[in-house]
Structure 1
């Protein structure tokens, strides 16, 4: 393809949006899912709350469909850009977020669609195994890409553990699935054991990342700028593991005796061990949360084009916040229920602030908007037009704002991998 001399190629805004879209869009839906997941655990639960949660649930589904559709169009229209995002050893850490977003939809479906009879427990059981397969299919190729290149300890952030998160969340999905699968059915055993196995896999792998994170901040100090948001990702593995272990232990208390497995006391032992382990991990998650909050405001760079990184304030904290309610039930302490209510209110407020700022950044073109030359370089690859000729086709007076994912050589402007 060639262009007449003196002509100027025009790129539509829609094309720039599609080319500039990235896997970083999924945390917006995950943050929305974080709202209804934490709200669903409130002690005093009225029908009004259920209605509000259902609204957030459908918003999450809409965002998931928007993101997957746009990225599919990107793969069709701009395959080089799509391949670039997947193969890059840094940018590829966001790919597994599509699996995490899918997990929030499954949990919402269990909470709001199964009780109304719109979805059957059998369908949920099938979706559980789809999620397990989905997490394996996505995580292992991304791990191969990531580990194929060296990484600098000085730029390390807990967000690099996103590559493991989908497998770690199998335990959380499992105990939610067991809410609708009768304990006396054989398939409940498979869900229980799979949940435990993947939760162990996910936690210990992410725990290695957390150890590296502690070493990193010992050598370079607290995370600054973009990376200040990533400090909250460290709350995720211990928080979600605490939540999963306690709830899986509670289900093991029912399932194992019904099927006569291990021993007569196996269910009680599983539950007691899970509560003890969960309580220990809850303390670790809370420590990392405080450790991230205290320097946060002073270390963060307040730039609107970096707003996507701030969504790390939401979903990684769901695990330990939901564990507060579970511990309140176990130890019958009303203070835990009040604490949980306060954290849910804070979560809703943070979501409201972030969604407004994200919408504003999107409207201004600070996020998800590719530069015209980036699109034309991908379009004219292999043609007579070289980059110098393309560079002469633009009006320098036009404002083109680079997107966080489409325009950086080493360190992204707005990403959890360097936030």
Structure 2
């Protein structure tokens, strides 16, 4: 926690009794009640990056010592980051559809995850609406907050997984009306996410003042949804009529290029932060897996869009045709795949060096970006028709599938124990 940091308006000290020390120290609570800024206060156990993985000696961190809140009070801390659950579930459904080694019943499992994602997305939207209805002013505060605001794009990422998985599991090539519907959804999504990418970064540039040492991977999130426009294009273009296919591919390529370019600029800041300030707090190191996503989803988009090109397409008097473009896409894909691999090991080793003790919704970064990494591996394996790559993609997918349930059970336990949906423990509180 930095000096001169004030508590967000969404938290009220009355919600936590003064004898509750599971997260706040006594000094922190005193300053919060007086609405005074913190001046280099001693950090509570959760903030200590080097604290051994043991409970606080006085037992104050035990769940049964925490003040019980009502559902309405806990909904005040239901943040945009909950959409990471939805987008990860949607990513799993897409991964199951794309696996190179299919067996009877696998598509049914994928369909279950697709339906589950629809239900989750609906429930999370309903919970967010209840939060904004019960607690006036939290909608604007959530978008402006220096930490939670960066998770607003996860809402759009969830929509991206819904569009792509609907194409995979629902729409058939002969369903003309549905094809036009998905095309309309594509263009609407592209426009909205472009506005998000411009608008949110303009707001951040003008309203916040972040130091390089505070850089977190979540800074990439506002550009992520527009980048997935390319991924959506790679999925839906093949079934679209040729008259509408090429404009979709051109738009997808443009948006993918924009997203990757901004991500590269963010990578420069991320590496600078790691070199100058070291690794993030152990509680937030799983977020480093977000850096795996941009190059991985670009590989997936480039290969998919090149494969969706009409075979009779000719560019510049037949000097370059669809086959040449597909070859170039594979070459560029291999180049970017290695970058995802590098970020994956950086993130994995960082987490293993100091495993997080408390659950954060940022743990879902260990699932969704790696889902894109697996999809990119499987897509390249199919284009190369390489058995070894197919096996590697399958093994990677199995690991992500297992990680999904590891994070899911941790989230359920955290909700039950009041490790999240509790004052000072969610993304509406800046603890890094």
TM range (shorter): 0.7 to 0.9
2:230 to 140, 148, 171: 171
Aligned to 2:125: 68
Deviation at 1:18, TM superposition (A): 2.4
Deviations 1:101-152 (A, max 9, x none): 0000111101111139887212111111121122123333222221112211
Provide the rounded CA distance (Å) in 1 between the counterparts of 2:134 and 2:198.
26
1:215 to 265, 272, 281: 272
Hey, which bits of structure 1, 4+ residues long, moved more than 4 A? 116-119
Q: State the TM-score, normalized to the length of structure 2.
A: 0.79
Check conservation: 2:371, 2:397, Cα contact below 8 A. no
User: Counterpart of 1:4?
Assistant: none
C-alpha contact (below 8 Å) 2:293/2:372 kept by paired residues: yes
Residue 281 of structure 1 corresponds to: 336
The answer (yes or no) to whether the contact 1:90–1:146 under 8 Å persists in 2 is no
Which whole-Å deviations, capped at 9, do the CAs of 1:297-354 have from their partners, x for residues lacking one? 2223212xx3312111011112221121122122221011111111111111111111
2:351 to 283, 286, 296: 296
Q: 1:47 Cα deviation (Å)?
A: 4.0
Distance 1:69 1:134 in 2: 21
Contact 1:236 1:316 in 2 (8 A): yes
- For the Cα contact (< 8 Å) 1:224–1:300, is it kept in 2? no
Distance in 1, matches of 2:399 and 2:381, equals 19
Higher RCO, Cα 8 Å, sep 6+: 1
Match of 2:377 in 1: 324
Comparing 124-133 with 191-200, greater Cα deviation is found at 124-133
What RMSD in Å do the two structures reach over aligned CA positions? 2.0
Superposed counterparts of 1:148-227, under 5 Å: 148=206, 149-182=208-241, 185-227=242-284
Q: Which whole-Å CA distance do the structure 1 matches of 2:352 and 2:190 have between them?
A: 38
* Counterpart-to-counterpart distance in 1, 2:152 and 2:397: 28
| Aligned match of 2:421 | 368
Tell me the distance in 2 between the aligned counterparts of 1:238 and 1:202.
10
Report what 1:18 is aligned to.
75
Is the alpha carbon distance of 1:320 and 1:179 closer, same or farther for their aligned partners in structure 2, counting shifts above 3 Å?
same
**Counterpart position of 1:262:** 316
- Within 5 A, what are the aligned runs for 1:50-89? 50-89=107-146
Task: Give 2:409's match in structure 1, choosing from 356, 374, 380.
Answer: 356
Which residues of structure 2 form unaligned runs of 5+?
1-67
Q: Deviations over 1:215-261 (max 9, x none)?
A: 11111223331231121111111111111111112223x26x34x54
TM-score, scaled relative to structure 1: 0.82
Shift of 1:12: 7.2
Distance of 2:326 and 2:316 partners within structure 1:
14
Deviations 1:73-120 (A, max 9, x none): 222332312211111233211111100000001111011111398872
Q: Which runs of 5+ in 1 are unaligned?
A: 1-10, 371-401, 413-417
In the TM superposition, what are the counterparts of 1:37-52 in structure 2 within 5 Å?
A: 37-52=94-109
Written as runs of structure 1 = structure 2, the 5 A alignment for 1:126-141 is 126-141=184-199
Residues 156-191 of structure 1 deviation map (CA, whole Å, 9 limit, x = unaligned) = 122210010001111001111113213xx2111110
Structure 2 residue matching 1:404: 3-state secondary structure: coil
Query: Could you tell me how far 1:214 is from its partner in structure 2?
Result: 1.1
Shift of 1:14: 2.6
Task: Supply the distance in 2 between the matched residues of 1:360 and 1:215 (Cα, whole angstroms).
Answer: 36
2:197 and 2:222 in contact (8 A); partners too = yes
Query: How many residues end up aligned between the 2 structures?
Result: 362
